[in-house]
Chains A and B, each alone.
Chain A
Amino acid sequence: MDRPTENLTAQDPAWVDDVLLAGPATDICLRLPEAVDRGTLRQLVGDAQTRLAAAGLRPGGAAALRLPPSLAYVVNLLATWRSGAQAILLDHRLTDHEVDRALQRLTPQVVVAPVRTGGGALRIFVDVTEGVTAHSAQPAVSGHAVIQLSSGSTGPSKVIGRTAADLVAEVHRYTRIDGVALPGERIILLPSMVHVLGLVGGLLYGLHANVELVPPERLGGDAILAAIRAQDTPATVLGVPFHIGLLASTRADGPLPQLKRMTTGGELVPAATAQAFADRFGVPLGNMYGMTEVGVIGTDLYGRHRPSIMPAPGIEVREVGGELRVSCPASPYVGLSDPSRWADGWLHTRDAGTVDPATGLVTVKGRLDSQVSVGGLKVDLTEVEATLTGLPGVAAAVVVYDDGITAYVQPDGPLSEEVLEKLLAERLAGYKRPRTLHLVDQLPRTTTGKLVRAVPVLRAAAP
């Protein structure tokens, strides 16, 4: 049913119907928990296209979506693409200041934002009534179908673009991975659909493969169990490691035959957590490795190779000088030419890792840029940071290399530098200790709660 997709551009909207919205009108796409079938979704998308066009969206333009995960988000995203336009995804937790800066750089023709939200606390999917406002008359800054702002906790903020062809290729990649949810099954969707795992691994793959998407009624262990139990069909829970604990801490109250697998991305799962999950549920706990720039890179959906993963079909991973590099035909960065991030068809992940030449298995070993050399001795800043974070009186800490090892520490009550230094001296060799210690009231964090590691931001936090 798919047409050749290698030359797709954002201005050729046929891919939305061909790859995402094809299929019988009565198929259920989403359960919120009320069922939304494909026919209804197509109707809603058509209506939204009319509203977007009335507000000024034209083929070749861009729409900024500042929406929480919601039916409105899904509908406006598909409507933007079906209008031949680019979707700029703005996490709804971004501040006005951050959004204003993004809008200045990315010149959308329209901005879609909530005029009313409802549904109560801890909702995974929100009831949204959206409004569309005109913003500029300029075309999109690139031919990408989707623009995402870097949510990484390292390096400068990046604008990442992906073409329609690249998104379609990733959807097809999922269909070739053993262990993903199958047609007629369900994905219990926990990650945000604004970010790559929930967006492509959840929403786009689900629409393409006729897998029902089921966000639990809210973020809680019992709500996840209720979502799994709500239908008889097999269910795959998609989440991040935090969700494993949430699910594993529920009371065992009967069998859960629908649960087929849980798959998490984002970070490595400690072996003890994986074992606790296996003991409780007796189904595989899968692991995925991916990046906003390229989507899913590799998987271990049966938990057989932990902590390693096997590259996804069509993805090449190689190790160069201890860094993992991933095949990526074009630079995903908008307005940035940095050969240390992308060059000659390879994305430099800045993740340290190895590729086993015999099996092809990839092992990710943390950020490459956390290791520094002090007087010829290698120091992993992660170790320094973990030591600091584990000290009594420390709520959080970030350790960077800024002309020497520099620590920014957020105390959790009264704490003096003298006490901190004394405690550190008991735990770390002298060459590993921070040369500069800054005590700050609040460490800077991204909208998703990750600690910010960019030196200028940290310096500003500790004037």
Chain B
Amino acid sequence: MSGRPDLGRADLVSMLAELTAKPVDQVPHRVGSMELAWLVHLVEQRYDRRMDLTDDQLAGIRTVDDALAVFRTSLTSPADG
């Protein structure tokens, strides 16, 4: 992942905390469409690359853990693929 530390669950939770203005231990585990757009935006910014996600991939994300799995898969695929 471009030499940066692997994306972890705590990273996503702190990104959501920024959005919701809640302490990290109070961030909901369930994510909606706006939270997802926010996470994609910040993860792409952090890794300086675009995650080419499909509608189906996004539709399957219900929780922070789901998002983490999809993002990690996307980030470990070849950047030019």
Contacts and interface: CB of A to CB of B under 8 A. Distances in A.
Partners in one complex: yes
A117 B25 CA distance: 39
Nearest to B53: A121
Contact of A250 (B18, B22, B30, B45): B45
Interface string A239-275: 0001001100111000000000000000000000000
Contacts of B34: 242, 449
B53 to A, nearest CB: 4
A412 B52 CA distance: 30
A392 interface: yes
A374 B47 CA distance: 53
Q: Is the interface of B mostly helix, strand, loop or mixed?
A: helix
A75 interface: no
Given A219-B37, A220-B37, A222-B41, A121 B54 contact: yes
A396 interface: yes
Interface string B35-50: 0111011101100000
For chain A, the bracket of interface size reads: 20 to 34
A66 B74 CA distance: 31
Contacts of B25: 392
A220 B54 contact: no
B45 A246 contact: no
Contacts of B38: 242, 245-246
A245 B19 contact: yes
Given A122-B53, A245-B19, A413 B29 contact: yes
Most A CB contacts (10 A, CB to CB) among B32, B38, B42, B54 go to: B38
Given A220-B41, A245-B19, A395 B55 contact: no
B45 A449 contact: no
A24 interface: no
Contacts of B42: 249
B40 A220 contact: yes
Given A246-B37, A395-B28, A449-B34, A121 B57 contact: yes
B44 A412 contact: no
Contacts of A222: 41, 44-45
B76 interface: no
B54 A395 contact: no
A221 B30 contact: no
Contacts of A122: 36-37, 40, 53, 58
Contacts of B53: 120-122
Nearest to B37: A219
A390 interface: yes
22 contacts: A120-B52, A120-B53, A121-B57, A122-B36, A122-B37, A122-B40, A122-B58, A220-B37, A221-B41, A242-B38, A246-B41, A249-B41, A249-B42, A390-B22, A390-B26, A392-B25, A392-B26, A395-B28, A395-B29, A412-B28, A449-B32, A449-B33
Given A122-B53, A396-B28, 18 more contacts: A117-B55, A120-B52, A120-B53, A120-B55, A121-B54, A122-B36, A220-B44, A221-B41, A222-B44, A242-B34, A245-B19, A249-B42, A249-B45, A250-B45, A390-B26, A395-B28, A412-B28, A412-B29
Which 10 A/B pairs are nearest by Cβ-Cβ distance? A395-B28, A121-B58, A121-B53, A220-B41, A219-B37, A412-B28, A121-B55, A221-B41, A449-B32, A242-B34
Interface of A: 117, 120-122, 219-222, 242, 245-246, 249-251, 390, 392, 395-396, 412-413, 449
